């Protein structure tokens, strides 16, 4: 099964704001690192896309959603702002519907949505559509019990943990893309409402 776009990164724009003037935003670093690592694993540059223009007072651009039928995988970067963002939740809903219509939301034991938790968020606050996913936590807790993100700004150990976790994510995405590409093209009518494969009707005549 072929898709024009490998991956869409869904995120809240505030999570890409920089804390120090000499550093890139967290999302920008994540995007660039994932793109390079996937290219190294796959032998070719992946087609990774994220919206860099939509702001809180912009009218939602349906041309973004129109591309979701051509999208293999979604990475949702959870944070307190993400779960309050109409745009982020709308992207999630539209990808779920597009996935159900083409290939299914999951292939075997591999989901087509990857949940990345950038900033600590109690599980009960995660979008209900993502509750079944374990996710990739890009934070841990310091000695005082406060959550601390994996980021260069918090020191070399936090930066090392960032790249280790990104590498784990890249391998899982790589394997899921391979699995999707090995599947035959499936018509919408061969999927049930949950996005699972069902037997196609026998040919007539």
Residue 196 lies in a domain: no
The rounded distance, in Å, linking the Cα atoms of 97 and 87 is 16
Contact 49, 5 (CB under 8 A): yes
Per-residue pLDDT of the chain (205 residues; tens, 9 = 90+): 889 999 999 999 999 999 888 889 999 999 999 999 999 999 999 999 998 765 444 455 666 777 899 999 999 999 999 999 998 999 999 999 999 999 899 988 899 999 999 999 999 999 999 999 999 999 999 999 999 999 999 999 999 999 999 999 999 999 999 999 988 876 433 444 444 544 434 444 3
**DSSP collapsed to 3 states, 119-167:** CCCCHHHCCHHHCCCCCEECEEECCCCCEEECCHHHCHHHHHHHHHHHH
Q: How many domains, in total, are found in the chain?
A: 1
Q: Nearest 5°: CA angle at 189, between 69 and 95? A: 25
Please report whether residue 127 resides in a domain: yes
Give residue 81's domain range. 5-190
Q: Which residues pair with 195 in a beta bridge?
A: none
Q: Can you give the CATH number for the domain in which 179 is found?
A: 3.40.50.10140
């Amino acid at each position: 099964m072929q898709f024009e776009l490998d991956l869409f990164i869904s995120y809240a724009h505030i999570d890409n704001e920089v804390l120090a003037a000499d550093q890139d935003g967290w999302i920008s670093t994540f995007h660039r690192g994932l793109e390079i690592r996937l290219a190294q694993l796959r032998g070719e540059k992946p087609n990774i896309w994220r919206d860099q223009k939509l702001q809180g007072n912009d009218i939602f651009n349906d041309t973004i959603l129109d591309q979701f039928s051509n999208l293999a995988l979604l990475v949702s970067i959870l944070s307190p702002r993400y779960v309050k963002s109409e745009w982020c939740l709308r992207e999630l809903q539209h990808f779920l519907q597009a996935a159900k219509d083409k290939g299914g939301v999951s292939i075997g034991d591999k989901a087509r949505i990857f949940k990345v938790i950038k900033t600590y968020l109690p599980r009960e606050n995660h979008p209900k559509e993502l509750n079944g996913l374990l996710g990739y936590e890009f934070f841990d807790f310091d000695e005082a019990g406060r959550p601390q993100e994996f980021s260069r700004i918090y020191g070399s150990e936090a930066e090392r943990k960032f790249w280790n976790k990104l590498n784990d994510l890249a391998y899982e995405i790589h394997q899921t893309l391979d699995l999707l590409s090995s599947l035959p093209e499936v018509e919408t009518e061969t999927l049930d409402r949950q996005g699972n494969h069902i037997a196609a009707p026998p040919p007539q005549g």
